[in-house]
Amino acid sequence: MLKGKARAHTNIALIKYWGKEDEQLIIPNNSSLSLTLDAFYTETEIVFDKNFTEDIFYLDDQLQDEKATKKVSRFIDLFRQQANCSFFATIRSINHVPTAAGLASSASGLAALAGACNQALQLNLDQESLSRFARKGSGSACRSIYGGFVEWQKGHDDQSSKAVKIASDHFEDELAMIFIVLNDQKKEIASRDGMKRTVETSSFYPTWLTEAALDLAAMKEAIAQKDFIRLGEITEANALKMHATTLAAVPPFTYWSSESMRAMQVVRTIRANGLACYFTMDAGPNVKVLCQKAEVEQIKAKLAEHFALEQLIVAFSGPGIE
């Protein structure tokens, strides 16, 4: 019997990844940059045993169906091949994140599974190698291997597409993110499907690739200079550009709800009244508000005038895989 357990935290992209160059290897069309957070994480335990007759996958103590199990099995196969191991496995994963609601549960989930496999099969992969493995499960999972600011370098093949930690002289420790949870239900259009449709049909997509590269360079400069205002402005603009590409897809679609739009307007109003805060959104309706730790309670109090307290979750910079 071989056993491994790992915890990985979710990350929120400040410069978004949107679109794949290689569907199989999950190599993106653009590099991205994220902040790993402490509030949401996944803990995964895996047991390999020669007596097991099939892979079994439990998510939040619920036995998963064949489709979900097959996806996980394919990912674990990468580690089994590396370790030359043919044992089946039982996987138990607890998500301290609502699944598939645009709160990045696949990032923490696949990163934790990668870490657990690495430990159980005694592969001794370093973080860079582990990020490449995690990427093949879910693109953004490669960034959850590290804490703080992380860049996913798009690269051009399996070896060069990987995440790296960005030195920031602890700038991330000054930041906070408030999640406005508007909907924790499973979304109608999965990120994977939305991305594919956008890449293939959106007339805005080529411009997105040019802009994302410029935003990334500007963002790294803002981090180096510890310039929060610039960091926030780039984060908000980049999210809006990504979501604009979906409106030009054929047929058009959006991850925004009317509540998302209301939340964005509330953030703009708070900012206009003197508190520095900026929104970002992933492929889901929930809005994340980037702010400085020193002002997080004031901003949360302002948001609480418009949203229920249970809808507001505060997160700070989080650690890498444990």
- CA-atom Rg of the chain in angstroms: 19
- What's the mean pLDDT when you consider all of the chain? 95
* Signed CA dihedral, 243, 25, 165, 117: sign only: positive
| Predicted local distance difference test score (pLDDT) of residue 186 | 76
pLDDT at 101 over 70: no
List, for residues 65-96, the tens digit of each pLDDT value.
999 999 999 999 999 999 999 999 999 999 98
Q: Are 276 and 98 in contact (CB under 8 A)?
A: no
Q: Report the greatest alpha carbon distance in the chain.
A: 64
Q: Does domain 179-316 have CATH number 3.30.70.890?
A: yes
List, for residues 283-314, the tens digit of each pLDDT value.
999 999 999 999 999 999 999 999 999 899 99
Q: In sequence order, which residues have a C-beta less than 8 Å from that of residue 318 and are 6 or more positions away?
A: 9, 10, 36, 37, 38, 39, 41, 147
**What percent of the chain lies above the pLDDT cut of 70?**
98
Domain boundaries, the chain: 2-165, 179-316
Helix (H, G, I), strand (E, B) or coil at 139: helix
pTM for this model (two decimals) = 0.95
Q: So what's the architecture of 2-165 in CATH?
A: 2-Layer Sandwich (3.30)
CB atoms within 10 A of CB 123: 17
List, for residues 193-239, the tens digit of each pLDDT value.
999 999 999 999 999 999 999 999 999 999 999 999 999 999 999 99
For residues 9 and 41, what is the distance between their CA atoms, to the nearest angstrom? 4
Q: Are 167 and 175 in contact (CB under 8 A)?
A: no
Q: In which region does residue 233 sit, left (phi positive, over 0), alpha (psi from -120 to 50) or beta (all else)?
A: alpha
How many Å separate Cα 215 from the centre of its chain?
A: 18
